[in-house]
């Protein structure tokens, strides 16, 4: 059902790789709610992923950008405002990748070059994006920027590795940049802390099935799906949440507030 909550709004969606990607669902929801968007991903993902299909389906232009490159981000912002015909109203940052996890390095034997690259891709890219947008004045007053995060920023999930620190950094950037962007341009900046979700990035974490099942049992509402995350993003991009900023918002079926759930004993 569409309420046209994003009618006349322009957006940029990062991170749709295939139909499992959370960003894929967010992009579909935004367009069904009336938004015009551009899609972006790293050049390698444009070659290997299925984002072309989404681009055709949604009639959304695809602009390659490595999120660690300020030059690429500036090009993306400039092209998007040109293609969409004005300043951007909302942006989704849906990017995560750990080199140490991918290369099977244990947390206590981390490679520091890998770690720095992980932080650059998964967290500093968020600061680079907002700094570029502010300098170019690409985001309209009252605009909304959202990044996706995970509760490993607050609690220990051993196999999540250095992504835990990446998410802590990401959430801190949302608060600190949210202050500046709010003061200067009335732009909102928030993070959504999403349930475990079956995606390329998610299932790359060791023991993901157990991780997923545990959270699903622990949460009174069960795990939040990528589709439901799309709905939540629409709400945050819409004019119905104009005073929400600098928050880390749990979208997890209640997981973050639970201590113990008897359902777990029957796992
Ligand atoms: N899947 C989960 O369980 C889960 C839970 C909470 C939060 N998240 C977060 O959601 C976000 C999206 O992940 P997903 O689960 O949809 O997986 P995904 O693998 O579909 O998406 C990750 C995206 O990051 C992109 N990316 C990697 N390096 C990049 C770079 N240098 N420049 C631009 N893009 C780059 C990938 O191409 C991919 O599209 C991530 O931030 C992830 O940490 C995922």
CA angle at 262 for the pair 256 and 265, rounded to the nearest 5°? 110
What is the mean predicted confidence (pLDDT) over 163-168?
Answer: 98
Cβ(219) to ligand 1 under 6 A? no
**Band (267; pLDDT cuts 50, 70, 90):** low
Q: So what's the pLDDT on residue 204?
A: 78
Ligand 1 pocket check for 200: Cβ under 6 Å: yes
Question: Average pLDDT in the 24-32 region?
Answer: 98
Q: What is the pLDDT of residues 1-10, one digit of tens each?
A: 789 999 999 9
Of residues 229, 226, 98, the one with CA closest to residue 152: 98
Nearest to 40 by CA among 31, 27, 28: 27
Q: Are 190 and 244 spatial neighbours (Cβ–Cβ below 8 Å)? A: yes
- pLDDT at residue 266 tops 80: no
pLDDT digits (tens, 9 = 90+) for 79-108: 999 999 999 999 999 999 999 999 999 999
Of 81, 27, 32, 30, the closest CA to residue 54 belongs to 27
| Interatomic CA distance for residues 85 and 9, integer angstroms | 10
pLDDT at 25 over 80: yes
What's the mean pLDDT in 44-63?
93
| Local confidence band at 211 (pLDDT 50, 70, 90 cut-offs) | confident
- Which residue among 14, 22, 146, 161 is best mutated to probe the pocket of ligand 1, counting the most ligand atoms within 8 A of its Cβ? 22
Q: Which fold has domain 10-266?
A: Rossmann fold (3.40.50)
201 pLDDT above the threshold of 90:
no
Give me the percent of the chain exceeding a pLDDT of 90. Answer: 91
What is the rounded distance in angstroms from the CA atom of residue 152 to the CA atom of residue 155?
A: 5
Do residues 73 and 132 make contact, with C-beta atoms less than 8 angstroms apart?
Answer: yes
Pocket-testing residue among 12, 26, 96, ligand 1, by greatest number of atoms within 8 A of Cβ:
96
Q: What dihedral angle (degrees, nearest 10) is formed by the CA atoms of 44, 47, 51, 53? A: 180
> Which pair of tokens denotes residue 251?
């979208």
- Pick 196 or 207 by higher pLDDT: 196
Q: At which residue do the structure tokens 């938004």 appear? A: 35
Q: How confident is the model at residue 205 (pLDDT cuts 50, 70, 90)?
A: confident
Q: Is the confidence at residue 59, as pLDDT, over 90? A: yes
Q: Tell me the domain boundaries of the chain.
A: 10-266
Q: Going by CA atoms, what residue is nearest to atom 24 of ligand 1?
A: 95
Q: What is the mean pLDDT of residues 55-65?
A: 97
- Tell me how far apart the alpha carbons of residues 154 and 165 are, in angstroms, rounded to a whole number: 9
28 lines ligand 1 (CB under 6 A): no
Q: What span, in angstroms and rounded, lies between the C-alpha atoms of 216 and 150? A: 15
């Amino acid at each position: 059902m569409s309420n046209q909550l994003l009618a006349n709004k322009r957006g940029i969606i990062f991170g749709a790789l295939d139909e499992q990607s959370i960003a894929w669902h967010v992009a579909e929801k935004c367009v069904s709610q009336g938004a015009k968007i551009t899609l972006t991903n790293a050049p390698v993902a444009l070659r290997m992923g299925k984002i072309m299909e989404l681009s055709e389906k949604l009639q959304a232009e695809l602009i390659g950008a490595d999120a660690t490159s300020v030059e690429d981000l500036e090009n993306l912002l400039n092209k998007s405002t040109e293609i969409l015909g004005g300043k951007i109203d909302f942006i989704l940052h849906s990017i995560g990748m750990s080199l140490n996890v991918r290369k099977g390095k244990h947390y206590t034997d981390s490679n520091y070059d890998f770690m720095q690259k992980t932080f650059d891709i998964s967290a500093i890219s968020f600061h680079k994006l907002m700094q570029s947008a502010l300098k170019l004045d690409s985001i309209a007053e009252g605009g909304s920027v959202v990044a996706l995060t995970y509760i490993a920023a607050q609690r220990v999930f051993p196999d999540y590795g250095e992504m835990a620190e990446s998410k802590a950094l990401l959430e801190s950037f949302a608060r600190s940049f949210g202050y500046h962007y709010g003061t200067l341009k009335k732009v909102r900046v928030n993070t959504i802390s999403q349930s475990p979700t079956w995606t390329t990035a998610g299932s790359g974490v060791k023991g993901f099935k157990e991780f997923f099942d545990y959270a699903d049992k622990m949460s009174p509402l069960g795990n939040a799906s990528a589709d439901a995350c799309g709905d939540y993003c629409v709400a945050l991009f819409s004019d119905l949440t104009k005073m929400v900023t600098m928050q880390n918002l749990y979208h997890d079926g209640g997981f973050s507030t639970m201590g113990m759930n008897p359902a777990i004993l029957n796992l």
